[in-house]
Amino acid sequence: MSLSTRTVSHPEGVETLLTDARFELMPFESFDDEITQLPDGATIAITTSPQLGIERTVERTEEARARGYEVVPHIAARYVEDRDHLADIADRLHDAGVTDIFVPGGDREEPAGEFESAYDLLSALDEMGRSFEDVGITGYPEGHDFLDDETLWESMERKEPYATYIVTQLCYDPETVVEWIEDVRARGVELPVEVGIPGVMKYQKLLKISQKVGVGDSIKFLKKTTGILGFVRQLVGSRGTYKPDDLVDGLAPYVGDDAYRIRGLHIYTFNQTSDTESWRYGRLDD
């Protein structure tokens, strides 16, 4: 069933999505300030940064867990050196009380060691007996710059036995997301889906973040996932600030539908949590 057949407002779906959302943070200097803007006990995903490496992700995870947050670290395969390094990371995460990890391949051009892909790392974790209750893998509603669609599907099918859910890369179009989920189900993949959406983004602040980290993780990410031109069009239409209202409203009618199994939102905050939280609370008060 396409999005066009579900145009009726769905306030309960909006409330469910926004109440149980998880928030993605980058492990930069602003991390300590940004995390204080989030609700006590919130679920926080922490990325692996090309500039800072996976050690910083693990450190930030340990810090956030000590402060009482639920944390989902990104264990990017191409940043892990070998099985000893992987075992050390897994042990530290277990000691910190982490039960949920997200395993992408990682943007690093050359792998740090033996893990070329998320599948390589997932299968190694399984062989080593280092299990976690929940494991997320990546989904690409708009495809991938360097991989064709069939390769992406084959990769998902290989990773599915090791995973408990899928997180989609950022996308601005709810119909694209819904149609992609329909394709996922048609291929027999039944994992629940967390839909990746942008938080509230002020263009000037995003540029400052990009300049601060050098190459610009955030701009690079936007180019890879949705196209920088699409992002700029969104910002022009919103007078410099993007708010994901249309995206959330478009997804809300599918919440609770067992055919889609949308389990929640994964908000890419780009370390702009204050703006995102003000918007989220405003929508919940509507």
Digit-coded pLDDT (tens) for 176-198: 899 999 999 999 999 999 999 98
The whole-angstrom separation of Cα 161 and Cα 122 is: 10
Confidence of residue 164 (pLDDT cuts 50, 70, 90): very high
Confidence of residue 163 (pLDDT cuts 50, 70, 90): very high
| Cβ neighbours of residue 223 closer than 8 Å, sequence gap 6 or more | none
pLDDT of res. 237: 58
Rg (CA), the chain: 18
Confidence of residue 209 (pLDDT cuts 50, 70, 90): low
Long-range contacts, 58-62 (Cβ 8 Å, 24+): 58/89, 58/92, 58/93, 59/27, 60/25, 60/27, 60/31, 61/93, 61/96, 61/98, 62/92, 62/96
Residue (of 57, 83, 61) closest to 70 by Cα position: 61
Q: Compute the half-sphere exposure of residue 286: CA atoms within 13 Å on the CB side of its CA.
A: 15
pLDDT of res. 208: 58
To 10 degrees, what angle do helices 83-96 and 53-66 make?
10
Two tokens, residue 47: 């990325």
pLDDT of res. 134: 98
Digit-coded pLDDT (tens) for 9-27: 588 999 999 998 999 999 9
Mean pLDDT check: name the lowest of 45-54, 81-90, 136-145, 201-210.
201-210
Digit-coded pLDDT (tens) for 25-36: 999 999 999 999
The whole-angstrom separation of Cα 35 and Cα 272 is: 10
Task: Look up tokens 């509507």; give the residue.
Answer: 286
Contact yes or no for 86/123 (Cβ under 8 A): no
Overall average pLDDT of the 26-54 stretch: 93
Beta partners for 195?
265
pLDDT of res. 259: 94
* Top-ranked range on mean pLDDT: pick from 64-78, 149-163, 187-201, 260-274: 64-78
pLDDT of res. 35: 96
Mean pLDDT check: name the lowest of 168-172, 209-213, 243-247, 280-284.
209-213
Characterize 67-83 residue by residue with b for buried, 16 or more Cβ atoms within 10 angstroms of its Cβ, and e for exposed: eebbbbbbbbbbbbeeb
Could you give the domains of the chain? 3-202+242-281 (3.20.20.220)
* Comparison of pLDDT for 99 and 247, the residue scoring more: 99
Confidence of residue 214 (pLDDT cuts 50, 70, 90): very low
Confidence of residue 70 (pLDDT cuts 50, 70, 90): very high
pLDDT of res. 133: 97
Residue (of 169, 178, 141) closest to 4 by Cα position: 178
Query: Which is it for strands 201-202 and 241-242: parallel, antiparallel or unpaired?
Result: antiparallel
Helix, strand or coil, per DSSP, at residue 208: helix
Count of all residues that appear for the chain in the document: 286
Contact yes or no for 255/16 (Cβ under 8 A): yes
pLDDT of res. 3: 45
Residue (of 33, 68, 37) closest to 200 by Cα position: 37
Contact yes or no for 180/168 (Cβ under 8 A): yes
The whole-angstrom separation of Cα 10 and Cα 148 is: 35
- Does pLDDT of 228 surpass 70? no
The whole-angstrom separation of Cα 15 and Cα 232 is: 28
Digit-coded pLDDT (tens) for 114-159: 999 999 999 999 999 999 999 999 998 887 766 777 888 899 999 9
